[in-house]
Chain A
Amino acid sequence: MAAASRGGGGGGPKALELLRALPRVSLVNLRPNPGAKKSEKRRGRGRHGGKKSGRGHKGQRQRGTRPRLGFEGGQTPFYLIIPKYGYNEGHSRRRQYHPLSLQKLQYLIDLGRVDPTQPIDLTQLTNARGVTIQPLKRDYGVQLVEEGADIFSAKVNIEVQMASELAIAAIEKNGGVITTGFYDPRSLEILCKPIPFFLRGQPIPKRMLPPEDLVRYYTDARNRGYLANPSNIPEARLELAKKYGYVLPDISKDELFRMLSTRKDPRQIFFGLAPGWVVNMSEKKILKPTDERLLRYYSS
């Protein structure tokens, strides 16, 4: 009740005063918030739930006698005709990376859907609808593919999950910066859809470290891994420049050097937001933990 909620905000003695004056809380005075309870659609009771009740017209659909999923009318179904073999084992549990071509990236930048003057992240790419990542379908992020390497001409600071050598070379040739970073499925879901996450009211979790088989990939400077030794990266850049025969542009002389050199911490999901913080969208406030144990946990 509105009166009861108002009374809760008054404080100790005020609340007592209000309780004396207000009527007793009973089933007569209680009501759920508007929009909280949605009544279900009951079939077979009139115009919109009635007549055929959403079952269609005659046949197996209406009569509910459809065969099981995968049945192909008697023909040996797909899931039985394909032989089991070693190389298919665990195929549904393998990590998948959605490909993003340099051509598509250039297209997005040219159309203004992605801003090259800010660091480009998976969130920016999702907001621009350049890629659609489904974390629930074993997607672990996006991989940069070399299609369009010859026409790529944008200076960007981009962070992807995997990148091929030519893609790295194409980005660095134009004076950009590329990093590969790992996101575990929960962090990936939060990264792709930040606003529904903020609406949940949970604190931002810390990003997990990569699994064993990926540690080697992300600690290698040749892949521009986010856990690689920063002193190995200039050597790797030079090596690529020698291999592909371009002049390595000096980024430190660039006016956007500050933007180009921003990188996320390995435990951070969003730029500018640390793990442990709670973002309140409706009141536009950020709540940070103060307890020492929490701070120690979130920065570990």
Chain B
Amino acid sequence: MRTKMAAAVLRGLCRARPALLPARTPQGILHRAAAGAAPSSEFRSEYALDRLYPEQNRSDAAEGTQDGTRQTSPDIPMDLAVGLSTSVFIFLDCLSISYCRSSGPGGQNVNKVNSKAEIRFHLASADWIAEDVRQKIAVMHKNKINKSGELIINSEVSRYQMKNLADCLEKIRNMIKEATQKSSVVSKENSQLLIARVQKMNRERLRQKKIHSTIKQSRRVDFD
């Protein structure tokens, strides 16, 4: 019963039809049959990938690395730079990544293993960030910029270099995101409305306080 349900769920998810088309071998990375291997020599069941997902027209290019057109994060220059195979080189040249030993307890492991990741880059000459954003970052994080103008970000949150590096990159992305955000300007009519609301709140609060006071006074017994 459970396997039948699983099969039904799978078909529901993948809209499988037992297609009788032979498997085409596109040039992308990670497709089932390697170029040149005849489909008949390999075993193909009804749940083979090309039957579960019949070939749809592929919009991505032959190499998987050229996927810089679609990003989900708002930070366009950073992801584009890492995504495109041509500009990755430039981007990693800009950042200088170094690893050193972390702080805290941990005995021999923390003393020997280089897990703290540090990223430095010269902020003023970083042309992959917009000019105004750069200046905003320079103001917001002036404590992290050294005398020669390099912005230093480090992270020792986990035991693994890779995770700490990911954390540093995340911090850089968040910095850029905060700097790109424009502070919300309250319009004239809305500002008056807000002031009126605050005043009304205060009046109501004082009224309730007076009522509560009369209740407490009415309970008092005075010896005359």
A interface with B by C-beta (< 8 Å): 146, 149-150, 166, 169-170, 173, 177, 206, 208-212, 215, 219, 227, 229-231, 233-235, 237-238, 241-245, 247-248, 250-252, 257-258, 261-263, 265-268, 274-275, 298-300
Among candidates A209, A263, A298, residue contacting B3 with C-beta atoms closer than 8 Å: A209
Least CB distance, A41 to chain B, in whole angstroms = 44
Report the stretch among B28-36, B127-135, B201-209, B213-221 that lies at the interface. B28-36
Q: In the bound complex, do residue A245 and residue B165 qualify as a contact, i.e. CB atoms below 8 Å apart?
A: yes
Q: In the bound complex, do residue B42 and residue A244 qualify as a contact, i.e. CB atoms below 8 Å apart?
A: no
Q: In the bound complex, do residue A299 and residue B32 qualify as a contact, i.e. CB atoms below 8 Å apart?
A: no
| A211 CB contacts on chain B under 8 angstroms | 2-3, 6
Q: In the bound complex, do residue B28 and residue A252 qualify as a contact, i.e. CB atoms below 8 Å apart?
A: yes
Q: In the bound complex, do residue B14 and residue A219 qualify as a contact, i.e. CB atoms below 8 Å apart?
A: yes
Q: In the bound complex, do residue A252 and residue B6 qualify as a contact, i.e. CB atoms below 8 Å apart?
A: no
- Give 7 nearest A-B pairs by CB, closest first: A234-B64, A274-B43, A267-B45, A258-B34, A266-B47, A150-B161, A209-B6
Q: In the bound complex, do residue A234 and residue B30 qualify as a contact, i.e. CB atoms below 8 Å apart?
A: yes
Of the candidates A177, A206, A209, the one having the most CB atoms from chain B within 10 angstroms of its own CB is: A209
B interface with A by C-beta (< 8 Å): 2-3, 5-7, 9-10, 13-14, 27-32, 34-37, 42-49, 52-53, 56, 58, 60, 62-65, 67, 79, 82-83, 85, 88, 92, 97, 113, 115, 160-163, 165-166, 168-170
Known: A166-B160, A233-B30. A212 touches B48 (CB 8 A): no
| A267 CB contacts on chain B under 8 angstroms | 43, 45-47
| A150 CB contacts on chain B under 8 angstroms | 113, 115, 160-162
| A261 CB contacts on chain B under 8 angstroms | 29-32, 34
Of the candidates A149, A215, A231, A242, the one having the most CB atoms from chain B within 10 angstroms of its own CB is: A242
Complex alpha-carbon distance, A275 and B64, angstroms: 33
Least CB distance, B165 to chain A, in whole angstroms = 5
Complex alpha-carbon distance, A275 and B65, angstroms: 36
Complex alpha-carbon distance, A211 and B45, angstroms: 19
Least CB distance, B68 to chain A, in whole angstroms = 9
Q: In the bound complex, do residue A230 and residue B47 qualify as a contact, i.e. CB atoms below 8 Å apart?
A: no
Complex alpha-carbon distance, A209 and B97, angstroms: 44
Known: A166-B162, A265-B45. A238 touches B67 (CB 8 A): yes
Among candidates B34, B62, B88, residue contacting A247 with C-beta atoms closer than 8 Å: B88
Known: A169-B162, A170-B162, A261-B34. A250 touches B63 (CB 8 A): yes
Among candidates A219, A244, A248, residue contacting B162 with C-beta atoms closer than 8 Å: A244
Q: In the bound complex, do residue B165 and residue A244 qualify as a contact, i.e. CB atoms below 8 Å apart?
A: yes
| A252 CB contacts on chain B under 8 angstroms | 27-29, 62-63
Q: In the bound complex, do residue A212 and residue B9 qualify as a contact, i.e. CB atoms below 8 Å apart?
A: yes
Least CB distance, B27 to chain A, in whole angstroms = 7
Least CB distance, A101 to chain B, in whole angstroms = 12
| B67 CB contacts on chain A under 8 angstroms | 234-235, 238
Of the candidates B30, B65, B82, the one having the most CB atoms from chain A within 10 angstroms of its own CB is: B30
Complex alpha-carbon distance, A237 and B82, angstroms: 12
Known: A169-B162, A244-B163, A263-B32. 7 other contacts (CB 8 A): A166-B163, A227-B14, A237-B64, A242-B82, A252-B28, A261-B32, A266-B47
Give me 28 A-to-B residue pairs in the complex whose CB atoms sit less than 8 angstroms apart, sorted by A's number: A150-B113, A177-B30, A208-B3, A209-B6, A209-B7, A209-B47, A211-B6, A212-B5, A219-B13, A227-B47, A229-B53, A231-B53, A237-B64, A238-B65, A242-B79, A245-B82, A247-B88, A250-B65, A251-B29, A252-B62, A252-B63, A257-B34, A258-B34, A261-B32, A263-B49, A265-B42, A267-B46, A267-B47
Least CB distance, B59 to chain A, in whole angstroms = 9
Among candidates A170, A245, A299, residue contacting B45 with C-beta atoms closer than 8 Å: A299
Closest A residue by C-beta to B170? A243
Q: In the bound complex, do residue A247 and residue B53 qualify as a contact, i.e. CB atoms below 8 Å apart?
A: no
Q: In the bound complex, do residue A268 and residue B45 qualify as a contact, i.e. CB atoms below 8 Å apart?
A: yes
Of the candidates A229, A243, A275, the one having the most CB atoms from chain B within 10 angstroms of its own CB is: A243
| A275 CB contacts on chain B under 8 angstroms | 43, 45
Q: In the bound complex, do residue B160 and residue A268 qualify as a contact, i.e. CB atoms below 8 Å apart?
A: no
Among candidates B3, B47, B64, residue contacting A265 with C-beta atoms closer than 8 Å: B47
| B170 CB contacts on chain A under 8 angstroms | 243
| A248 CB contacts on chain B under 8 angstroms | 64-65
Of the candidates A150, A169, A275, the one having the most CB atoms from chain B within 10 angstroms of its own CB is: A150
Q: In the bound complex, do residue B6 and residue A215 qualify as a contact, i.e. CB atoms below 8 Å apart?
A: yes
Q: In the bound complex, do residue B45 and residue A206 qualify as a contact, i.e. CB atoms below 8 Å apart?
A: yes
Complex alpha-carbon distance, A149 and B5, angstroms: 38
Closest B residue by C-beta to A257? B34
Least CB distance, A21 to chain B, in whole angstroms = 50
| A238 CB contacts on chain B under 8 angstroms | 64-65, 67, 83
Least CB distance, A213 to chain B, in whole angstroms = 9
Among candidates B83, B92, B163, residue contacting A242 with C-beta atoms closer than 8 Å: B83
Closest A residue by C-beta to B163? A166
